[in-house]
Amino acid sequence: MVDDGEQAVALTDLSLEAFTARLAAKHSVPGGGGAAAVVGSLGAALGAMAAHFTSGKKSYAQVQGDIERIAGSATALSQQLLQLVNEDARNFEPLAHVYSMPKDQPGREELLENATLKACEAPLEMMRLCSRSIALLEEASDKVSPLLLSDVACGAVLCGAALQAASVNVFVNTAQLKNDEVARPLEEEADALLLANIPRADTVAEKAVTRIRGKE
């Protein structure tokens, strides 16, 4: 929640202009995590749009069921990613509070460790959702109308970028964790998601551009 001057509102309830202005201003939230979630949400939404425009066309009747599933799943992923904007902001609040404490305050180190671990949750979930979105966009690239390939390609580029941006927010927090046994599995999952899905997103976009430019 943020104060818009009159009342507390969720970040996702701000206008696009207001959200961007707040992002540019001297505020802790939204930051890189919130921006990553928005970008991922837009990428998934483009996949949903491509499926919706293809749905019901006679020439795609044989994949109508798949198209409807892609549209529904991509829409849900877009909404879930958007809500992570608010979750990421909420999870930063206790971390900011601990940072404001005197460094010699008893119990500060434990509170800092717990708050830092909590701050890892939203960006890691963003990575999971972006990865699922990339898989849907990959499927959509073979099933939607060629007229929508540019949107699918844009969606893949955005989801790939969001995946990478979210990973930075995972790593900046795991680097601060004192317990390596806690940090390591989080970093390993993030690394695995990057390794599996960044090339996948790149391939979706590259193939789409090749088809668009008539070089296939």
pLDDT, tens digit (0-9, with 9 covering 90-100), for 178-201: 999 999 999 999 999 999 999 999
- Give me the pLDDT at residue 1, please: 55
Does position 95 have pLDDT exceeding 70, yes or no?
A: yes
3-class DSSP state of 25: coil
Residue 2 in this model has a pLDDT that exceeds 60:
no
Mean pLDDT estimate for the chain: 94
Task: Read off the pLDDT of each residue in 60-87 and give the average, rounded to a whole number.
Answer: 98
**Identity at 73, one-letter amino acid code:** S
DSSP character at residue 61: G
Q: Which of 82, 192, 200 is nearest to 140 (CA)?
A: 200
- Report the pLDDT value the prediction gives residue 6, as an integer from 0 to 100: 44
Model confidence, pTM? 0.93
Summarize the confidence of residues 132-140 as an average pLDDT: 98
What percent of the chain has a predicted confidence (pLDDT) above 70?
Answer: 95
Q: Is the peptide bond before 94 cis (omega within 30 degrees of 0)?
A: no
Note the pLDDT of residue 9.
80
206 near 152, Cβ under 8 Å? no
Residues near 89 by beta carbon (within 8 Å), at least 6 away in sequence: 1, 2, 11, 29, 30, 34
Answer for the pair 164, 198: CB distance below 8 angstroms, yes or no: yes
Contact by Cβ (8 Å): 159, 200: no
The pLDDT of residue 110 is above 50: yes
Ramachandran bin of 32, using left for φ above 0, alpha for ψ from -120 to 50, beta for the remaining angles: alpha
- Quote the CA–CA distance of 7 and 76 in Å, as a whole number: 28
9: helix, strand or coil? strand
Residue 68, SS3 per DSSP: helix
Tokens describing residue 82: 């958007």
Statement: residue 32 has pLDDT above 50: yes
**Span of 68-72, 90-94, 160-164 with lowest mean pLDDT:** 90-94
